[in-house]
Amino acid sequence: MTTKKKIPLSQVAIDDEVKARVVAAAESGQYILGPECKAFETELASYFGRGHCILLNSATSGLLLTLKALGVGPGDEVLAPAHTAFPTIEAIFLSGATPVFVDIDESATLDPSWLEPRVSARTKVILPVHLYGHPCDMDAIQEVAERHGLLVLEDCAQAHGAQYRSRKVGTFGVAGVLSFYPSKNLTVLGDGGAVLTDDPVLADRLRMLRDHGRRDKYLHETVGWNLRFNEIQAAAGRVFLRRLDAMNDARRAKAARYLERLQTAPITLPTESKLARHVYHLFVIRTPKRDALAKYLAAEGIQTGIHYPVPNHLQPATIGRPGVRAESLPRTEAWVKEILSLPIFPSLTDSDVDRVSAAVHEFFAGPGKA
């Protein structure tokens, strides 16, 4: 009996250049916020076209510290989608502010039409999440923000290099936050994050907050945290950053192949809005038979994921929390029952895409499956 090759949901391609840069950093004797980190910050800022980049230990820390640095805290409200990874909302809670949840549009990102009815005297920030690699409708979001004097803080954890109107996400708001978790379009072989901004005052405060509230080794100007980045991961990240555009092109090519192969399957495929350039951090389909399909694909050696099965307004950590409004979010609540992420990453082969696609068709064609 031949064992079928396993197809993972995501995979990081590590080659000799990455290994050599990591070893060199390890042998340098400098491990925290040294020359590799400084160079990575400079290169990230240049890639995104922003004035400053501040590396941190995670995107969650980036969101939290930026909210704190902007003076957001108890009594304030932040408008955010319920359909996102919980850390987005966790950062709002940790800042002391309260999330006000909004529904999603057909791109699975924040629906701008939900914003204005939820703006109150306590609203300080709109926090759009560029989910799955697809940009939010930034024109509509910024219009609401400008009309009400609100700040926009972008969660770009899943959208490195994605564009709206040919402009990279992370460059629209007062700041944009990146994640470098291993499955992301840009990784550092572990946890990590960064904040992008053009505001030198905000950047200076973030640098202090990540490092115990200090500029000088022994002079602490405020109470901060230890949320620093390290040289080994920066060395790896610098290599992957140079390859980011090519890796995103590869993801788009895999997605295009999926879209062609799956166009006749009885599923809902992801879409790309006219003003967007999707970078397919995830390739998410929808079907009411999601659980059975996932089980069938697993038996075929194909890993899938659900991003995310429980929306954040219905999470146990959220329900009943003081100040949080009970919301009904129809599209979010319907979609989370049907979404399924298929394997996608730059080194996924065309034959693997074809095999996954064939397995999806076989599931719906098979006896008792449909």
Which of 213, 242, 271 finishes a domain?
242
Boundary (domain end) residue, out of 242, 258, 275: 242
Cβ atoms of 155 and 184 closer than 8 Å = no
User: pTM, whole model, 2 decimals?
Assistant: 0.97
Residues 6+ apart with CB under 8 A from 306: 290, 294, 336, 339, 340, 341
180 with 323, same domain: the answer is no
Please identify, among 242, 271, 302, the residue that sits at the C-terminal boundary of a domain.
242
What range does the domain containing 155 cover? 16-242
Q: Which of 279, 242, 244, 249 is nearest to 43 (CA)?
A: 242
Indicate the number of domains in the chain.
Answer: 2
Statement to judge: residues 237 and 252 lie in one domain:
no
Same domain, 36 and 50: yes
Residues 251 and 276 in one domain: yes
Q: Is 289 exposed, middle or buried (0-12, 13-18, 19+ CB in 10 A)?
A: middle
**Per the omega criterion (within 30 degrees of 0), is the bond before 308 cis?**
yes
CA angle 171, 229, 279 (to 5 degrees): 40
Q: 6 in a domain, yes or no? A: no
Please check whether residues 307 and 270 belong to one and the same domain: yes
What gap in Å lies between CA 104 and CA 335, rounded to an integer? Answer: 10
Instruction: Give, for 207, the enclosing helix (H) or strand (E).
Output: helix 200-209
Confirm whether 309 is domain-assigned. Answer: yes
pLDDT in tens, the chain (370 residues): 457 899 999 999 999 999 999 999 999 999 999 999 999 999 999 999 999 999 999 999 999 999 999 999 999 999 999 999 999 999 999 999 999 999 999 999 999 999 999 999 999 999 999 999 999 999 999 999 999 999 999 999 999 999 999 999 999 999 999 999 999 999 999 999 999 999 999 999 999 999 999 998 999 999 999 999 999 999 999 999 999 999 999 999 999 999 999 999 999 999 999 999 999 999 999 999 999 999 999 999 999 999 999 999 999 999 999 999 988 999 999 999 999 999 999 999 999 999 999 999 999 998 655 4
CATH number of the domain bearing residue 296: 3.90.1150.10
Residue 188 placed within a domain: yes
**Other CB atoms within 10 A of residue 217 CB:** 8
Q: Indicate if 261 and 197 belong to the same structural domain.
A: no
For helices 59-69 and 200-209, give the axis angle rounded to 10 degrees: 120
d(CA 199, CA 16): 38
Question: Are 86 and 202 in the same domain?
Answer: yes
Same domain, 262 and 214: no
